[in-house]
Amino acid sequence: MDEALFWQLIEASWTDSPEDNEDRIDALETNDEDELLELADTMSDVIMHNYRRRLGELDKPSMAAFLRILEVKMYELDRKEIHDHLDGSDDGFVYARGFVIFMGEEYFNKINEDPSQGTFDTRCEEFVFEGYSIYEEKFEEPFERYQVCSVETGSNKEGWPKEL
């Protein structure tokens, strides 16, 4: 599992549901706030089902690599400038970053490069932590989280400048 396969798994979770994927593609083009908020609901149901199924098909090393890449992507987005556009609470910001990643590589890059393109209050809580649960169920042991970096808000010290 490398970063390209990471993004392919997320894309496939969307393409498994063509109508929802069309809505996502439209939202990526328009960046319409209402469409993005509706997609947050769709993610929690249909697309998460596809995601769970696809993660469940991975072998142990691939799933571990996927989860490590997810943690790195969450860490990359853990910046005050992004926080200011997505959500004001610590937990909410974790889930908002999950939404950004679960929208796919194009949206991730858009928000990472220009945080003002983000939509406040878009979240996908399940996406962030579901992989850990699937890993534990499938391999009957907990996944050792945060060996490379943490997903918790404020972990990326470079992204949160100290106030004077």
Residue ranges of domains in the chain = 3-153
Tell me the C-alpha distance between 9 and 65, whole Å: 12
3-state secondary structure of 4: helix
pLDDT in tens, 58-83: 999 999 999 999 999 999 999 999 99
Question: So what's the pLDDT on residue 164?
Answer: 38
Full DSSP string of 65-133: HHHHHHHHHHHHH--HHHHHHH-SSHHHHHHHHHHHHHT-HHHHHHHHH-GGG--TT---HHHHHHHHH
C-alpha distances in angstroms, 145 versus 129, 139, 148? 10, 15, 8
pLDDT at site 161: 82
pLDDT in tens, 83-130: 999 976 767 899 999 999 999 999 999 999 999 999 988 988 889 899
Residue 59 Cα distances to 78, 101, 134, angstroms: 29, 22, 11
pTM of the model: 0.94
pLDDT tens profile 137-159:
999 999 999 999 999 999 999 99
Cβ neighbours, 10 Å, residue 21: 19
**Separation of alpha carbons 105 and 143, rounded Å:** 24
CA atoms of 59 and 63, how far apart (whole Å): 6
Mean pLDDT of the chain: 93
